[in-house]
Amino acid sequence: MRRKIVAGNWKMNKDLKQGLELIDEIVNMNSAEDVLKIIATPFIHISLAADKLKDKTDFAVAAQNCHQSNAGAYTGEVSAEMIRSTGAAYVIIGHSERRSYFNESTSVLTQKVNIALGNDLTPIFCVGESLDDRNSNQHLEVVRQQLKEALYHLSPADFSKLIIAYEPVWAIGTGVTATSHQAQGMHNFIRSEINKKYGKDISENTSILYGGSCNAENARELFSCLDVDGGLVGGASLKAADFVAIANSF
């Protein structure tokens, strides 16, 4: 049975005090206990957030990125080993903003996946296409290649540890949301591709999250799709009531 997951990606928002207050707000609201709520905070919050949530079996903490090396002279970077030492258990890798703004290549993303798994972090690996890719009917091939080039070197045991997040890049921060039909179509395609490579058991047990402007208004319809197992939520995760409402949309 695939786990239902809602992951909140705060991006570069909330100072230390604001972030900890937001976590308290979220925890104090009634949220579905059978839904895993992952909170991906900026690095400054991670250790304190993990400590706050350590006894909550339906909550976890993620980093938004990690470096591809365990240690070294990389000023300003944070390693997977450091992240794991805080008590965080997840890390987002390959987010469209990292690919676009920081030019993260497939080679770098592959290294990050490897280093995360080697430090007992669960990667939330993002794939997705641009508007041009979709308009030119290349969206399926783009996502296929993203999966193949960054992940298909993994053993079945390691791949089975991943969470996949589908980001229609054209629907992030634009107010445009893929229809539930479009979301289900791509999620089903991703699951079928995983099935081809790793078999039905792994494909049927891999959680695939929708990561394109998911909010309290559209979450119920999106989550009703057979292959949509939750959401990677951006702006709506910065408001406790909205984040909890999304988690309760199942």
Enter the tokens of residue 11: 């991006």
> Are 26 and 58 contacting, i.e. CB atoms less than 8 angstroms apart?
no
Phi-psi category of 130—alpha, beta or left, where left has phi over 0 and alpha has psi -120 to 50?
beta
Question: Which residues have a Cβ under 8 Å from the Cβ of 130 and sit 6 or more positions away?
Answer: 142, 169, 170
Enter the tokens of residue 149: 């080039």
Catalytic residue among 97, 104, 129, 167: 167
Instruction: Give the torsion through C-alpha atoms of 86, 156, 233, 45, to 10 deg.
Output: 10
Q: What residue has token string 């089903």?
A: 188
Catalytic residue among 45, 67, 81, 95: 95
> Are 8 and 237 contacting, i.e. CB atoms less than 8 angstroms apart?
yes
Report how far residue 190's alpha carbon sits from residue 88's, in angstroms, rounded to the nearest whole number: 27
> What three-state secondary structure class fits 106?
helix
Enter the tokens of residue 228: 């949509």
Question: Which letter does DSSP use for residue 3 in this model?
Answer: P
**Whether residue 221 lies in the annotated active site:** no
Give CA 233 to chain center in angstroms: 8
**Whether residue 167 lies in the annotated active site:** yes
Q: At what angle do helices 240-247 and 16-27 cross, to 10 degrees?
A: 40
Enter the tokens of residue 128: 């997705």
Active site residues: 95, 167
